[in-house]
Amino acid sequence: MVDELVLLASELVTNAVRYGARRPVEMVLWFVDGYFWLAVSDHGSGRPRVGSPGRRDCGGRGLLLVDRVADVWAVVARPGCGKSVVVGMRRR
């Protein structure tokens, strides 16, 4: 479970740094109701989407990994301050 949380954090922070608005990126991790929750926030205006990269593409798999590893995830708009990607993993 720790490995999966580290993978999710790495992918989401990498996306926020690469595609965010070059302002600080914030990451928060907490546990509640049997779930570990991870939120990564940036000030970018774009809304991330799950890609469909080709076999030879070097990138575009971050949210595919998130979609497959996390039990639940969502993009939460923060009007005037960007967005947060929030993922939840049930404690195993």
Structure tokens at 32: 């509640």
Q: How far apart are CA 45 and CA 77, in angstroms?
A: 9
Torsion-angle region of 11 (φ positive above 0: left; ψ -120 to 50: alpha; else: beta): alpha
Instruction: Find out whether 35 and 86 touch, Cβ atoms under 8 Å.
Output: no
pTM to 2 decimal places: 0.85
pLDDT computed for residue 82 by the predictor: 92
- Mean pLDDT over 48-52 rounds to 67
Model confidence band, residue 29 (pLDDT cutoffs 50, 70, 90): very high
* One-letter amino acid for residue 47 of the chain: R
* One-letter amino acid for residue 92 of the chain: R
Range 2-90 has CATH code 3.30.565.10: yes
Structure tokens at 86: 């929030």
Q: How far apart are CA 73 and CA 4, in angstroms?
A: 14
Give the number of residues written for the chain: 92
- pLDDT (tens digit per residue) in 2-23: 999 999 999 999 989 988 887 7
